[in-house]
Amino acid sequence: MKMTTCLSVALCVDGGNVDQAAVTIASVLAHLSPGPPLAFHVFYGEPPSRRSRRLETLRVTPHRLFVHYVENRFRNIGLFDHVTPAALLRLQLGEFLPDLDRVLYLDADILAVADIRPLLAADLGDAVVGAVQDLGLHAAIAEERVTGRPDYILHVRDALGWDLDNFAYVNSGMLLLDLAALRRERFGERAGQLVMDHPHRFRWRDQDAINLLLRGRVVLLDPRWNSMVWFLEREPRRCHADMAATALQRRDPWLLHFSGPSKPWHALVDIPDYRRWWRAAVRTSPVWALRWFRLLLAKAGAQAWGWIRRERR
């Protein structure tokens, strides 16, 4: 199969993470090597807002930025944990971008720290998607086999119907998609209907649908293209993960993924890559400098109040 270089990047957001999308895009451009200009497509699942209009003004020349306002058919689905309805819009990228054969999808909580052109040129072979194995889920399965307390095991075995000894589950925060193939298979329609018909069966909604419907046609990419920071730094079960893969992600990450409920913009967490995200954010917009200052004041106030309480005892 002829290898096709991708020149388009897509993100799916709402009012809660559209400012973060600007940081993701700016970080990609900050590390991008010379070459053909890219097109960034941001799908905003709400009516236009002050924040979305601010994203429209992001300077990306000579590249192009398009903010598309779309109806989110998944907005009323109850979602698991920190996932927002906007994330499910990635299931419809084939329909949203009918003239594109390939696109790189990135979550808005990703920070590029390396040139993505090698990723854009990755050979998918006969696969329809390129992604990175979800080391967190596989580590959880390994831990539960030791402890005998099944949780994620039940999800993989019962909800997905997979053999625990023969599966590879990928994280959907970074996806290199063959849109032409997905359109031919009506993937967006099928995946969307699967999620709508079984809202309580799938723990990670669209991510589960992607893994289930595209199983056997996913090429596993270098793990450094999706380094999940919280898992690597703070997750207790990380000791059960693929040690070679986690070592690569720690030593030389290419895309930092702040997956999970703990985000850099929620608090000033003492993790090097969280501080790295803040440096990139502050360079992107003065809005982030103001937010950082407010968090700093809140942290200092909490520390001072803690000191006063201890002194009163």
Residues 234 and 271 sit within 8 Å (Cβ to Cβ): yes
pLDDT of residue 81: 58
Kind plus residue range of the DSSP H or E element containing 281? helix 272-284
Instruction: Give the C-alpha separation, 105 to 94, whole Å.
Output: 11
Residue 234: give its domain's CATH number: 3.90.550.10
Of 63, 74, 84, 68, give the one whose Cα is nearest residue 173. Answer: 84
Residue 134 lies in a domain: yes
pLDDT of residue 78: 59
| pTM of the complete model | 0.92
Range of the domain at 240: 8-262
Residue 186 lies in a domain: yes
> Tell me: the pLDDT tens digits for 53-63?
999 999 999 99
Q: Which residues of the chain have pLDDT under 50?
A: 1-2
Residue 26 lies in a domain: yes
Of 278, 259, 257, give the one whose Cα is nearest residue 267. Answer: 278
Residue 20 lies in a domain: yes
Residue 312 lies in a domain: no
pLDDT of residue 79: 60
In sequence order, which residues have a C-beta less than 8 Å from that of residue 53 and are 6 or more positions away? Answer: none
Residue 153 lies in a domain: yes
Number of domain units in the chain: 1
Residue 207 lies in a domain: yes
Residue 306 lies in a domain: no
> Tell me: the pLDDT tens digits for 258-296?
998 889 999 888 889 999 999 999 999 999 999 999 998
Residue found under tokens 């696969």: 127
pLDDT of residue 80: 58
